[in-house]
A and B are shown apart, each in its own frame.
Chain A
Amino acid sequence: MGFIKAKFNAPGGVHPAYHKDLAAEQPIAEMPLSASLVVSMSQHLGKPAAPTVKKGDSVLRGQVIGEAAGFISAAVHAPTSGTVKLVADVATAAGPRATAITIEPDGEDTWVEGITPCPDWHQQDKKEIVEKIAAAGITGMGGAGFPTHVKVSPPPDSEIDTLILNGAECEPYLTADYRLMLEKATEIWQGALIIAKALDAKTIYVAIEDNKPQAIAAMQEALPAEVGDAQVVALKTEYPQGAEKQQIFAVTGREVPAGGLPLNVGIVVENVGTTLAVWDAVVNGRPLTERVTTVTGGPVAKPGNVLARIGTSCADMVEFCGGTEGPVAKIISGGPMMGFAQADMSGPTTKTTSGLLLLDPTSVHAYESMPCISCGRCVGVCPMNLMPNELSQFLEAEDYETAEAYNVMDCIECGCCAFECPAHRPLVQHMRRGKAQVMLNRRKQAS
């Protein structure tokens, strides 16, 4: 049974230069412990975790240092053993400030007691699996960081029949998921079976863009015998094939209702890195304390895929990759389409840092935006079928009511519109601001 080609294709999409060759052939390399790790309490979507340690406390690797603070929240664990040096607010990669715990490693890297491997995960029932995922503090590692235990415990009235593993990695430059699929295919499949069990999902798809034939082959080869209905699906190479709603449509032809969730159409999507973390948590009993990040871009001396502890500073990761050669104009946490630009490399990595991208001055352009010439390209490339041309004009005029009526809230902020715009209008930027304002207005009205 070979892989299948996706039968469907979501609207829109663009074809940016991929630059995956920089790091794609570099095996995952584990970097040594940094001298200091800064662990944010806000690495996930939802309420930040509540710190459970204070300055001067000794911690062990895997020890809870932040408790999940509410239903949509996730626990945070010490990435190594050491001493808490500081509990203070720092800016996150996306901008807002959140409490972070600075740990000075003792170099012993001692695990906390109570880490119990369970090689035969089949003995565990659904409830135990979900509890283990929650205790491990796993969040979506593809970018948004939605707490995984919430995703795998859908409301009782919803029936999930399909699990999709997202291995599209449609962001240019990034190769972390690609390397994971090449090197950890068996473990990822086991993770998928675990999640499928928790969800009662009968069908498992692994969705991979067709520009990664090796990853498709690796996942195909590792397809476990015990699995019933499972397939590797080759997606057309097009940004944003990794976007949840677009990927669900490409793989199954099901459309997630506007404003709805994948579970409304009986589907859960998990990133391949997240799936591996689930395997690690359920089989090895280990909480999420490290992840693979692609450190890449022109100025990086030796681009690569780095396995680093959560909280490692960007500067240390770049240093591990041979430092920089030549000037750096932009530092991006994530990929070039949706990543967050950083002013410097002092910030720490989190559970969602899929990439650390440095751009040289020749790849960074400043544009003066022109009036819209109604070329319609943004309309053509929008994967949600929105009309960014007029939405941006409503938002420029601060007409949030009209923008909301014209579905600004359905924007997934993929950036295709701004990428394509010949007038260099900040289209997605307007939408992002508009969405935030609409949310603010809604909250004001509610109170």
Chain B
Amino acid sequence: MSDLAIVSSSPHAHSGSSVRRIMLDVIIALVPALLVSVYFFGWDALRLTLACVITCLAAEALSRKAMGRNLGIDDLSAVITGMLLAFNLPPTLPTWMAVVGSVFAIVICKQLFGGIGYNPFNPALAGRVMLLISFPVFMTRWSEWTLPSPLAMDAVTSATPLGLVKTTIGSTGALPFTFDGTTMLQLFVGNQNGCIGEVSAAALLLGGIYLLVRRCITWHIPVAYLATVAVFSGILWMHHPQQNLPPHFHLLSGGLMLGALFMATDMVTSPVTKRGMLVFGVGCGILTMLIRKWGGYPEGVSFAILLMNAITPLINRATRPRVFGAPKGGKKQS
């Protein structure tokens, strides 16, 4: 019988894409940010990234084994969770905390929900938020950096730009520094305080472009997200320039670039329809700005994306495309 040909249902061709290849592309896209991070934060960046990646892989393998599931870790998704979690940690965080966050992300947020494809929340973000709530002091302890802006007169601070703005406006009612070209360039290349992987907008954009070219993401979520933040902050800035920093400051500071390009675009936890992606991006942008402007935390990217993750199924439902040939403007579904 061995000379019979293989019989299967069509199609008999495949695009050649695979989950593993997509994950590999995301890892490749994260490399520039990792290199910049090592440049600015040195050993700490490498230490946290390695701790998170190794823990995530081990946690994934062990929990799959414990649950008697057949899938291994070779889809590489745990590597991305580890890298993204590490990128969302401050450089001085103790290693054991990074390990705890990784275990939480993989075991609680991913594997207990059913593993790859079934997690409602981005595991790396959920891990970060768990650490932020559990260890608020360690999670907001930053290294020192110099602000070259004229108002600050090359002040040395150990706050993040967003944190500095929030505390100074809260206590003095005025902005701590002006946002000029020098500061902008500094923030763009990544010479600022923050989590190890979020500081360099330049490196993150490079990775984002790679993801777009490789069709791992579409433009919808990042563009909708960044544009919403720009418009929202622009309105605030024009309304009251003494109390608000301009849109380009908001785009280049905090975890926005990392969030918009790598976290909000996580396939599993974001909508599948193009219109849904736009809604998702706009929602992330509004929530981020609400938290940055009026929330208790200086930064709101993690919370914004997690909240939008929660309503992703509803967005998918609401943005179901009109079936080709179905009446226009009429009822979409029976």
Contact = CB atoms under 8 A, between A and B. Distances in A.
Interface stretch (A207-215, A223-231, A304-312, A378-386): A378-386
B270 interface: yes
B326 interface: yes
Interface string A411-447: 0000100111111101011001000000000000000
B283 interface: no
A370 B114 CA distance: 12
B161 interface: no
Contacts of A343: 4-5, 7
A258 B6 contact: no
Contacts of A246: 324
Interface in B69-106: 71, 75
B9 A429 contact: yes
B333 A336 contact: no
Contact of B6 (A330, A336, A367): A330
Interface residues of B, number: 46
A10 B324 CA distance: 8
B324 A384 contact: yes
B116 to A, nearest CB: 6
A181 B159 CA distance: 72
B324 A379 contact: no
A243 to B, nearest CB: 10
B12 interface: yes
Nearest to A343: B4
Interface in B8-23: 8-15, 17-19, 21-22
A354 to B, nearest CB: 13
B268 A336 contact: no
A153 interface: no
A343 B6 CA distance: 6
Given A10-B324, A255-B325, A373 B267 contact: yes
A330 B5 contact: yes
Nearest to B13: A336
Interface string A353-368: 0000101000011110
Given A344-B5, A374-B267, A337 B11 contact: yes
B267 A376 contact: yes
A376 B274 CA distance: 9
A258 B325 contact: yes
Interface stretch (A34-42, A129-137, A402-410): A402-410
Interface stretch (B52-60, B204-212, B315-323): B315-323
A300 to B, nearest CB: 14
B216 to A, nearest CB: 8
A406 B333 contact: yes
A16 interface: yes
A17 interface: yes
B10 A373 contact: no
B323 A258 contact: yes
A150 B184 CA distance: 71
Contacts of A422: 17-19, 21-22
A375 interface: yes
A374 B274 contact: no
Contacts of A16: 13, 15
Nearest to A390: B316
A336 B118 CA distance: 32
A128 B3 CA distance: 50
A330 B12 contact: yes
Interface in A8-24: 10-11, 14, 16-17
Interface string A235-268: 0000000000110010000011111100000000
Contact of B5 (A255, A329, A365, A371): A329
B334 A405 contact: yes
Contacts of A338: 10-11
11 contacts: A255-B324, A257-B325, A258-B325, A260-B325, A336-B13, A341-B7, A342-B5, A342-B7, A371-B116, A410-B324, A429-B9
